[in-house]
Amino acid sequence: MVGIDIIDIERVDGSDEFLNKIANEKEIEYVKKSFCDSLRLQRTGALFCVKEAVMKALDLGKGSGVVFKDIELTHQPSGKPSVILHGKALERLNQAYSGKRIEVSLSHTPITAIAIAIVAD
């Protein structure tokens, strides 16, 4: 399964309220250490997109019980993005795709943010 999401940066909600709704403490710290407002919005957009892409890859829609914080964006020492699943998202992966993992990639510019998620062996 594959999921992809894209957003126009001008549509990104840059409020702390929105960030607190979708992100855990480590993700918030990563976004807030941005050196300018433009980068903060780009990172928020990419964070939102990666969570949406993972939900799509796992075929999790409304009513699934998954919340954004069930999908945690992390980065390897090399900078490569990865996700850690919790709660209902982890349950779905284990039930439907036992033994598999989620691979993600994301990118952002001052105009757009995009993410893709793939259920992989």
CB 4 within 8 A of CB 55: no
Q: Kindly report, residue by residue over 19-66, the tens digit of the pLDDT.
A: 999 999 999 999 999 999 999 999 999 999 999 999 999 999 888 999
Q: Where are the domains of the chain?
A: 2-120
Q: Is the dihedral of CA 52, 55, 57, 59 positive or negative?
A: negative
Question: Which residue carries 């945690």 as its tokens?
Answer: 72
Q: Kindly report, residue by residue over 75-102, the tens digit of the pLDDT.
A: 999 999 999 999 999 999 999 999 999 9
Which pLDDT does position 62 carry in this prediction?
A: 81
Topology of the domain comprising 2-120: Ribosomal Protein L22; Chain A (3.90.470)
Question: Which residue carries 């949406």 as its tokens?
Answer: 52
Which pLDDT does position 21 carry in this prediction?
A: 96
Integer-rounded Cα radius of gyration of the chain: 14
Q: 18 pLDDT band (50/70/90 cuts)?
A: very high
Alpha-carbon 30 to chain mean position: 13
